[in-house]
Chain A
Amino acid sequence: MEVLKDYKLHLIAFLVVIICELIGKQFIWIIAVFPMLYAMIFGGIISLPKLKILTNKNMQNASLVMMVTLILLVAKLGLAVGPKIDMILKDAKLALIFQELGHFAGTILLGLPLAMLLGMKREAVGATYSVAREPNIAIVADKYGLDSPEGRGVMAMYICGTLYGAIWMSILASLIAQLNILHPYALAMGAGVGSGSMMAASLAPISALYPELSENINAYATTANLMSGMVGIYIYTLFSLPFASFMYDTLARLRRNK
């Protein structure tokens, strides 16, 4: 019961949550920022090792508690699916299937060429084959081992995702939604990236722009996210990782021939 009894941690978290909720939603330029983002930033500042407020043990507990809070978040999101599932499966099954291609290929198509332009080696394969959440680390560990370049790549990305994945997704979704080119349902499906906190962070600004559609937006995003979660482990193993490796070899050959 060590995690439960970390009173200091829970008291700090409680205060952070209350303060952030009292500040409420604000705008920075055209980017909507929500209490969840200040909560992450305040939490991050409090946890700075220099300030010596939290011990390493407190922080490890925080990360365990975060996993548990994520369960509640997923439960809340899942409740948006039931009332709409018939509609989505009837009207949008092709979109649901094809948008997964975008999720799985998108990381590699945008990330891998950039990684190689910046001079990264095989690390690029591990870093760009997925959004580097826990299951993705396990897949790379299984195939290459975590001491390999690919393993270092996926671990580095995992840390980046933990540090600023949610913040970045929220800013990006806010900007793209403001452009008003893509329909909010399409944006919602885009938000279902297979990570609960990143999805929630990108959904908030989309729902805020289209409050009257927010139930459907949550349903589309969560169904897409559920789909990513179910097929993810197979696609990552059978397609994404081999494809990233193949792309790396092809681009590396081009780089040498130049």
Chain B
Amino acid sequence: MKILETIFVLILVAIIMAAGNSMGYKIDIISSLEALAVLVVISIVGFLLSKLPGLKKFPVILWVSVVAAVASSPIFPYHKELVAITDQVSLLAVCTPVLAYAGLAIGKDLALFKNISWRIIPVSLAVFSGTFIFAALIAQVTLHWEGVI
């Protein structure tokens, strides 16, 4: 996708997210749209950054995370207002369209899935569980050391 098209698609899915936010979490549509507008701006800044020569080594989502983290930290003068506006959109409402589109793309992978051995299913569950469980266990121990928990 070209840069301009990506920006239009961002706006389109932001509208779907605002509608979902307003329906599912009882937040009025104007506040939902405002919150999403801020997210769209952050996304576009991160997206354009990731297209600059030299910054291409890391993926778009990393740059967007960094922009969002900086914009919400005290370095940025309007960080309080920004966080207050974006709090109007629920994290869950942002996730639903992501997985809806992921679901709508599943059909094309099913044929590939049928061709792989059943063995990969238990192995994949062990891999996903392993990364979560081991990291959580180590975090539990080290957070305890540091006196956070």
Contacts and interface: CB of A to CB of B under 8 A. Distances in A.
Interface of A: 1, 3-4, 9-10, 12-14, 16-18, 20-22, 24, 34-37, 39-49, 54, 56, 58-60, 62-66, 68-83, 85-86, 91-95, 98-111, 114-115, 118-120, 124, 127-128, 131-132, 134-135, 156-157, 159-163, 165-166, 168-169, 172-173, 176, 182-183, 185-187, 189-193, 196-198, 200-204, 207, 218, 222, 224-226, 229-230, 233
Contact of B128 (A41, A62, A172): A172
A60 B111 CA distance: 14
B116 to A, nearest CB: 4
Interface in B55-80: 58-62, 64-74, 76, 79
Given A13-B104, A135-B59, 11 more contacts: A17-B100, A49-B111, A58-B104, A75-B64, A79-B71, A95-B143, A156-B120, A159-B116, A189-B135, A190-B139, A226-B66
A203 B132 CA distance: 11
A34 B148 contact: no
A127 B120 contact: yes
Given A78-B72, A196-B61, A69 B101 contact: yes
Interface in B63-106: 64-74, 76, 79, 82-83, 86, 89, 91-106
Interface of B: 1, 5-6, 8-10, 12-14, 16-17, 19-21, 23-25, 36, 39-40, 42-43, 46-47, 58-62, 64-74, 76, 79, 82-83, 86, 89, 91-113, 116-117, 119-143, 145-149
Contact of B64 (A71, A95, A203, A218): A71
Nearest to B80: A83
A110 B67 CA distance: 35
Contacts of B124: 111, 127, 157, 160-161, 165
A129 to B, nearest CB: 9
Contact of A107 (B79, B103, B107, B130): B130
Contacts of B40: 72
Nearest to B44: A71
A143 to B, nearest CB: 18
B73 A82 contact: yes
Contacts of A229: 58-59, 61-62, 65
B104 A111 contact: no
Contacts of B82: 79
Contact of B129 (A77, A110, A119, A182): A110
Given A176-B133, A182-B136, A229-B61, A118 B119 contact: yes
Contact of B139 (A35, A64, A68, A102): A102
Nearest to A45: B103
A99 B142 contact: yes
8 contacts: A3-B9, A47-B104, A71-B60, A81-B73, A101-B135, A161-B128, A162-B105, A200-B98
A79 B68 contact: yes
Contact of B132 (A54, A56, A190, A233): A190
